[in-house]
């Protein structure tokens, strides 16, 4: 049952620019890699942010790309996302270390985001809503204060920009606060639209069809040199999905001008909506959106930011985050000698990790030696459904 003027929908777990010769700077080592994908035909199964980003990068390196996805982009987990680029706050949430493989990957991708956003914007001629204002993280309880303090120490030790705002207690119920300079946002929906347009401009094709095998792909698109499997939740044998529910408000006078994070909650102001999230449900009976759960998110957000009380709900939705048993993204070649690659299981960090994933996949497709850090994310035997 939809309330007046609201859109309520469930995003299913479904899971394309100028031929520019670029010298690509390695996101981790900053070494120049010469593009060698020129003229190769690459099929990509899955047109969420990961599939689209891999396609964009490969088209940029001169490849001919055909994407497959049975569903419209508005049905993707990427559309359901809040668009946060949040290596620091997510580091705290997953309990990692500043120098572990995951954090290194996340910060490298965040650093690459401004260049990536510019490239997508220039290639598509469309805006992506990249907003570099830092994220305000607040602690409301003693436990949250301890966690935020620990994050502060980790970030400082790792040489990351973070500071305690002078007016620390600037939002409702805050006992301490941090400005996280690495953490910012993009309008994920504008990004997806721009990526699609850029890929189309570069000659990439999108086929609205589900594909499971190389034979199916080649029957539809002709012979391919490589396949990238990027269908989100469909790429893992062990179906580890975590449901997330969220809602959006119409913009309101006096509303927040930067991303605010508190516990597992967040407020993400965009030009045309204010996204509020999110639940994190490992055990769920139904993938549907629930008014009870989203009302609870709204109440929590209003306690943090009372100005939101005057804003009307415009939309409620749910999505399923793809998670591998390891908890890490899976990015790389599927078995020695095969021209099959996988990019999936980005869990909470698909938008953040899109640029670095696209780079790692394009490098792997071109046969470049994988960088040291990417070894932590290689597919392991038995974990990928597609072979
Ligand atoms: N990246 C935020 C979320 O998954 O809720």
pLDDT reported for residue 34: 63
- Residue closest via CA to ligand 1's atom 1 equals 348
Peptide bond connecting 167 to the previous residue in cis, omega within 30 degrees of 0: no
Low-confidence ranges of the chain (pLDDT < 50): 1-27, 29-32, 168, 238, 384-387
Rg (CA), the chain: 20
Of 81, 186, 322, the one to substitute when testing ligand 1's pocket (max ligand atoms within 8 A of C-beta) is 81
Q: Which two tokens stand for residue 237?
A: 């044998």
CA of 221 to the centre of ligand 1 (A): 34
Of 102, 262, 266, the one to substitute when testing ligand 1's pocket (max ligand atoms within 8 A of C-beta) is 266
Q: Which two tokens stand for residue 110?
A: 């965040």
Instruction: Give the whole-angstrom CA distance, residue 190 versus residue 306.
Output: 28
Q: Which two tokens stand for residue 297?
A: 């998110």
Task: Indicate if ligand 1 lies below 6 Å from the C-beta of 180.
Answer: no
Task: Indicate if ligand 1 lies below 6 Å from the C-beta of 277.
Answer: yes
pLDDT reported for residue 381: 55
Closest ligand 1 atom to Cα of 348: 4
- Closest by CA position to 27, among listed 355, 315, 325, 312: 355
Closest ligand 1 atom to Cα of 350: 1
Task: Indicate if ligand 1 lies below 6 Å from the C-beta of 202.
Answer: no
CA of 188 to the centre of ligand 1 (A): 12
Query: ∠ CA(37), CA(39), CA(42), 5° rounding?
Result: 65
- Residue closest via CA to ligand 1's atom 5 equals 278
Residue 189 parent element (H or E): helix 188-201
Q: Which two tokens stand for residue 111?
A: 């650093």
CA of 50 to the centre of ligand 1 (A): 15
341 near 229, Cβ under 8 Å? yes
pLDDT reported for residue 2: 36
Of 277, 293, 350, the one to substitute when testing ligand 1's pocket (max ligand atoms within 8 A of C-beta) is 277
Task: Indicate if ligand 1 lies below 6 Å from the C-beta of 278.
Answer: yes
Instruction: Give the whole-angstrom CA distance, residue 298 versus residue 293.
Output: 9
Task: Indicate if ligand 1 lies below 6 Å from the C-beta of 348.
Answer: yes
Closest ligand 1 atom to Cα of 277: 5
Q: Which two tokens stand for residue 157?
A: 């030790």
Q: Which residues are CB-neighbours of 362 under 8 A, at least 6 positions away?
A: 24, 37, 54, 57, 58, 61
CA of 264 to the centre of ligand 1 (A): 9
Q: Which residues pair with 245 in a beta bridge?
A: 318
CA of 49 to the centre of ligand 1 (A): 14
Burial zone of 197 (CB within 10 Å; 0-12 exposed, 13-18 middle, 19+ buried)? middle
Task: Indicate if ligand 1 lies below 6 Å from the C-beta of 243.
Answer: no
Of 48, 49, 82, the one to substitute when testing ligand 1's pocket (max ligand atoms within 8 A of C-beta) is 82
Instruction: Give the whole-angstrom CA distance, residue 125 versus residue 116.
Output: 14
pLDDT reported for residue 20: 27
- pLDDT tens-digit readout, 354-363: 999 999 999 9
pLDDT reported for residue 385: 43
Instruction: Give the whole-angstrom CA distance, residue 79 versus residue 245.
Output: 12
Task: Indicate if ligand 1 lies below 6 Å from the C-beta of 82.
Answer: yes
């Amino acid at each position: 049952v939809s309330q007046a003027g609201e859109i309520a929908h469930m995003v299913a777990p479904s899971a394309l620019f100028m031929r520019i010769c670029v010298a690509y700077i390695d996101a981790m080592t900053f070494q120049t890699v010469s593009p060698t994908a020129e003229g190769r035909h690459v099929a990509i199964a899955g047109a969420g942010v990961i599939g689209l980003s891999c396609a964009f990068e490969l088209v940029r390196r001169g490849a001919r790309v055909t994407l497959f996805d049975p569903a419209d982009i508005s049905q993707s987990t990427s559309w359901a996302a809040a668009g946060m680029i949040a290596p620091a706050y997510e580091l705290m949430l997953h309990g990692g270390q500043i120098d572990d493989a995951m954090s290194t990957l996340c910060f490298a991708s965040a650093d690459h985001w401004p260049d990536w956003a510019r490239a997508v914007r220039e290639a598509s001629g469309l805006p992506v809503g990249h907003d570099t204002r830092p994220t305000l993280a607040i602690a409301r309880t003693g436990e949250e204060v301890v966690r935020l303090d620990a994050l502060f120490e980790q970030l400082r030790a790792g040489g990351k920009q973070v500071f305690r705002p002078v007016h620390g207690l600037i939002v409702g119920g805050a006992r301490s606060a941090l400005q996280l300079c690495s953490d910012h946002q993009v309008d994920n929906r504008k990004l997806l639209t721009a990526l699609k347009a850029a890929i189309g401009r570069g000659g990439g094709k999108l086929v609205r069809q589900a594909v499971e095998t190389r034979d199916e792909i080649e029957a539809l698109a002709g012979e391919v040199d490589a396949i990238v499997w990027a269908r989100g939740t469909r790429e893992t044998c062990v179906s580890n999905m975590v449901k997330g529910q969220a809602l959006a408000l119409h913009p309101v006078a006096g509303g927040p001008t930067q991303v605010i994070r508190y516990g597992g909650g967040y407020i993400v102001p965009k030009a045309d909506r204010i996204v509020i999230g999110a639940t994190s449900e490992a055990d769920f009976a139904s993938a549907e959106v629930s008014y009870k759960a989203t009302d609870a998110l709204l109440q929590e957000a209003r306690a943090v930011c009372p100005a939101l009380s005057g804003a009307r709900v415009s939309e409620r939705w749910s999505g399923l985050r793809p998670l591998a048993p390891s908890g890490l993204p899976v990015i790389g070649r599927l078995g020695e000698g095969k021209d099959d690659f996988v990019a999936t299981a980005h869990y909470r960090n698909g938008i953040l990790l899109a640029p670095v994933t696209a780079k790692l996949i394009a490098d792997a497709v071109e046969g470049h030696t994988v960088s040291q850090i990417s070894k932590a994310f290689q597919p392991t035997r038995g974990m990928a459904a597609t072979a």
